[in-house]
A and B are shown apart, each in its own frame.
Chain A
Amino acid sequence: QSALTQPASVSGSPGQSITISCAGSNNDVGTYDIVSWFQHHPGKAPKVIIYEVTKRPSGVSSHFFGSKSGNTASLTISGLQAEDEAEYYCCSYTTASTLVFGGGTKLTVL
C-alpha cells in the first residue's frame, strides 16, 4: 500500500489561509469517507483535528476545515496563527483493511 502524497512543506503569514492536499487513489481516499488529519508538534502526541473527511472533534478550532474531491482530500487552515506551526498528516482507510498515512507536511508560519 503506497503512502498518500502530501507536499513536504507549506508556509503562510499570520491571518492568511493555506491548504494542504492529500492525494490517494481509488483504493483509499477515492472510495471511503474515512480520512483523518493529525497535527503533530515535536515531542508531543499527535492530535486529531479532522476525522471522516469533514468532522472536527470537540475542542478543535473551527479554523480547521476538511474536504475531499475524487481521490484527493484537503485540509484548509484559515486565519493562520503561530501555534498552527506543526507537522500535518493525512490518513485514510484502504481496500486492504489497513490505514495509510501521508508523508507529512511541515507548516511554517512566517
Chain B
Amino acid sequence: QVQLVESGGGLVQPGRPLRLSCSASGFSFTSYGMHWVRQAPGKGLEWVAVISYDGGAEYYADSVKGRFTVSRDNSKNTVFLQMNSPRSDDTAFYYCAKALGGSGSHLWAPLSWGQGTLVTVSS
C-alpha cells in the first residue's frame, strides 16, 4: 500500500534554510506527481506546492513562491521541499501527498497523504 513518510521538521530560526523530505513506497513513484500541503496550529489546510512526475513542472502558492522550492529524486523515491527564508507564519505541520496522476488534470488531486512533520520557525 502507499506509504509516505515526511522528515526534516523541527525548530528553525527565521531566515535559516530547512529542507523537508518525503520518502515514498508502495507505488510506482516515477509515475505520480507529489504535493506539499501544510496546516498551521489551529488553522485549516493550505496548499504549498506540487511537482510533476518527472520534475518538469512545479507550481507554488503565492505565499511561498520565491522562497520555497519543490524537487524530487526519482532514483530514491523521495520528494523534497527546500524552505529558504522561513518566517514565523510558515510554522505548521507539513504533509506530502501523492497525486492521482503524473501530469495534466490528474496532477491536481492529492489522494494519499503522509502523517506530516512539524516545522516551527522561531528565534
B100 x A51 contact (CB < 8 A):
yes
Stretch at the interface among A14-22, A65-73, A78-86, A98-106: A98-106
Nearest A residue to B62, CB-CB: A1
B45 x A38 contact (CB < 8 A):
yes
Interface string of A43-58 (1 = CB under 8 A from B): 0111110011000010
A61 vs B37: C-alpha distance when bound (angstroms): 25
A97 x B111 contact (CB < 8 A):
no
Residues on the A chain within 8 Å of B112, using CB: 48
Stretch at the interface among B14-22, B24-32, B72-80, B113-121: B113-121
Within 8 A of A (CB), among B28-70: 35, 37, 44-47, 50, 59-62
Nearest B residue to A47, CB-CB: B113
How far is the CB of A97 from the nearest CB of chain B, in Å? 5
A101 vs B97: C-alpha distance when bound (angstroms): 15
* Given known A45-B116, A99-B50, contact A93–B44 (CB-CB < 8 A): no
B9 within 8 A of A: no
A51 vs B95: C-alpha distance when bound (angstroms): 18
Residues of B within 8 A of A (CB): 35, 37, 44-47, 50, 59-62, 95, 97, 100, 105, 108-116
